[in-house]
């Protein structure tokens, strides 16, 4: 037992040793003096980001958090989430206080409306000038008072050129019966409804109940053709030629195509969804100025370029774009033509009633028959009560019999 423990310790030590010798390149920043303010203050900030959404030093790339710590002397407590709703719940719950968060467009609007975000002081974020002009004002935060864009992307159709014949230029192809059983679909309601609404020619932010019900009917019609409702499993399925068509995010499609050259990507002509993830500071941040320093660091050309290379999405940062490879910049997948972007729509924050309706319709689509819940729950309760009575009476009878002898 002792020996195994020391073996374990040895492995741990080896690991921490390897950690400490990981070299990180020194970053070129615009104004080194700016970052010296908290050099010896010993403070820390908490950053809450999407998983796999920052350059972490793999493949000799820049380790952004380590470089920031080295430059400023501020400790970064870094943690990750998987969905906007998860982030919202954590902030709203109030158990943990974060200093920098990175929600998406519609969630930013919601948080602004509910007074959960702090106004940014742009005097502390001089590098925000690097943000490209077309991202300086966004629908979700028109004056950019609360958010600095971090990454963006569009949604389109990834398809396998061996399995799909004919042009892919419309969302209709996801309803094409010839590909029955070979179609993958988004596993989250907002994206799935977005596609159905676009196909019908409605806005993806519609609050009209009849339009939403119509979209739900379309999704129900599509269901028999769908192989699976997926999120990240899409990578393995498409790269392994297990499905022919799947709607997904452009940057991820680019990664998939790099792995499997039979894949291609198209943005349908009906229009698409454009998403923007942006850096914000929640209200109640204890270290607002240090948080703004972190946001400023993320806006530095070299840092933003390293991040965007790691993530594979599109960058709103003009200084970073200058540092990227020609090949990526010229890719119509990651940086589509202006007409395509012009036709793309952002997700906006929906009212509570619409969100509830969306959830209800989505459940209806995913489970064929929800009516059974009306009788199944009382039945289950009844069975449990009867079982409890039977067990108790059996026990009593046994006890009585034992007392007889």
Residues that bind another protein (CB under 8 A): 1, 3-4, 7-8, 11, 15-16, 18-19, 22, 46, 48, 50-53, 56-59, 63, 65-66, 77-83, 93-98, 231-232, 235-237, 239-240, 242, 252, 255, 259-260, 311
CB-based contact 171:190 (threshold 8 Å) = no
- What DSSP element (H or E) covers 58? none
Rounded Cα distance, 7 and 10, in Å: 5
Q: Indicate the burial class of 202 (C-beta count within 10 angstroms; 0-12, 13-18, 19 or more).
A: middle
Helices (H) and strands (E) in the chain, counts: 15, 10
Among residues 158, 216, 249, 244, which one has the least CA distance to residue 367?
Answer: 216
Q: Closest separation between CB of residue 365 and another protein, Å?
A: 21
Q: Closest separation between CB of residue 166 and another protein, Å?
A: 26
Using only C-alpha atoms, the chain has a radius of gyration, in whole angstroms, of 26
Q: Smaller CB distance to another protein: residue 1 or 404?
A: 1
Rounded Cα distance, 48 and 146, in Å: 16
Name the DSSP class of 204.
T
Rounded Cα distance, 20 and 185, in Å: 43
**Number of Cβ within a 10 Å radius of residue 279:** 26
Q: Smaller CB distance to another protein: residue 1 or 337?
A: 1
Q: Smaller CB distance to another protein: residue 271 or 282?
A: 282
In the structure encoding, which two tokens stand for residue 139, read together?
A: 């629908």
Q: Smaller CB distance to another protein: residue 205 or 260?
A: 260
Rounded Cα distance, 272 and 185, in Å: 15
CB-based contact 320:130 (threshold 8 Å) = yes
Q: Smaller CB distance to another protein: residue 129 or 395?
A: 395
- Phi and psi at residue 314, in whole multiples of 5°? -100, 150
Residues in the chain: 405
Q: Smaller CB distance to another protein: residue 30 or 56?
A: 56
Q: Smaller CB distance to another protein: residue 117 or 319?
A: 117
Q: Closest separation between CB of residue 95 and another protein, Å?
A: 4
Please name the residues in contact with 11: beta carbons below 8 A apart, sequence gap of 6 or more. none
Q: Closest separation between CB of residue 351 and another protein, Å?
A: 25
Q: Closest separation between CB of residue 176 and another protein, Å?
A: 24
CB-based contact 148:229 (threshold 8 Å) = no
Q: Indicate the burial class of 26 (C-beta count within 10 angstroms; 0-12, 13-18, 19 or more).
A: exposed
Q: Smaller CB distance to another protein: residue 162 or 236?
A: 236
Q: Closest separation between CB of residue 158 and another protein, Å?
A: 14
Q: Smaller CB distance to another protein: residue 189 or 271?
A: 189
Query: First and final CA of the chain: distance in angstroms?
Result: 51
Q: Closest separation between CB of residue 58 and another protein, Å?
A: 5
Q: Closest separation between CB of residue 242 and another protein, Å?
A: 8
**Count of alpha carbons within 13 Å of 314, Cβ hemisphere only?**
23
Q: Closest separation between CB of residue 165 and another protein, Å?
A: 23
């Amino acid at each position: 037992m002792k020996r195994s423990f020391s073996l374990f310790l040895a492995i741990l030590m080896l690991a921490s040793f390897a950690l400490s010798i990981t070299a990180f390149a020194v970053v070129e920043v615009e104004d080194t003096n700016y970052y010296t303010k908290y050099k010896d203050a010993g403070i820390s900030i908490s950053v809450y980001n999407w998983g796999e959404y920052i350059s972490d030093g793999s493949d000799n790339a820049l380790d952004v958090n380590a470089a920031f710590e080295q430059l400023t002397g501020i400790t970064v407590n870094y943690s990750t989430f998987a969905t906007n709703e998860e982030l919202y719940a954590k902030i709203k719950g109030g158990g943990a206080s974060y200093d920098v968060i990175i929600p998406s467009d519609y969630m930013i609007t919601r948080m602004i409306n509910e007074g959960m975000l702090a106004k940014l002081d742009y005097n502390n974020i001089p590098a925000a000038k690097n943000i490209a002009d077309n991202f300086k004002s966004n629908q979700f935060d028109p004056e950019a008072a609360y958010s600095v864009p971090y990454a963006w992307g569009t949604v389109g159709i990834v398809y396998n050129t061996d399995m799909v014949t004919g042009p892919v230029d419309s969302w209709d192809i996801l309803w094409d019966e010839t590909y029955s059983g070979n179609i993958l679909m988004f596993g989250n309601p907002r994206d799935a409804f977005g596609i159905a609404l676009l196909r019908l020619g409605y806005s993806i932010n519609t609050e009209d109940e009849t339009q939403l019900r119509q979209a739900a009917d379309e999704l129900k019609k599509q269901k028999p053709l769908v192989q699976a409702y997926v999120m990240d499993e899409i990578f393995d399925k498409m790269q392994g030629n297990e499905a022919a068509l799947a709607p997904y995010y452009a940057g991820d499609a680019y990664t998939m195509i790099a792995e499997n050259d039979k894949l291609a990507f198209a943005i349908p002509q009906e229009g698409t969804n454009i998403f923007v993830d942006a850096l914000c500071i929640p209200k109640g941040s204890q270290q607002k100025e240090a948080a703004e320093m972190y946001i400023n660091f993320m806006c530095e050309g070299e840092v933003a370029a390293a991040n965007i290379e790691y993530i594979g999405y599109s960058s709103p940062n003009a200084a970073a774009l200058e540092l990227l490879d020609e090949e990526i910049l010229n890719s119509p997948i990651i940086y589509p033509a202006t007409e395509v972007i012009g036709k793309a729509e952002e997700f906006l924050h929906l009212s509570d009633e619409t969100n509830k309706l969306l959830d209800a319709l989505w459940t209806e689509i995913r489970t064929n028959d929800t009516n059974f819940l009306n009788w199944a729950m009382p039945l289950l309760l009844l069975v449990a009560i009867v079982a409890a009575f039977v067990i108790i009476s059996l026990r009593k009878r046994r006890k009585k019999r034992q007392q007889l002898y």
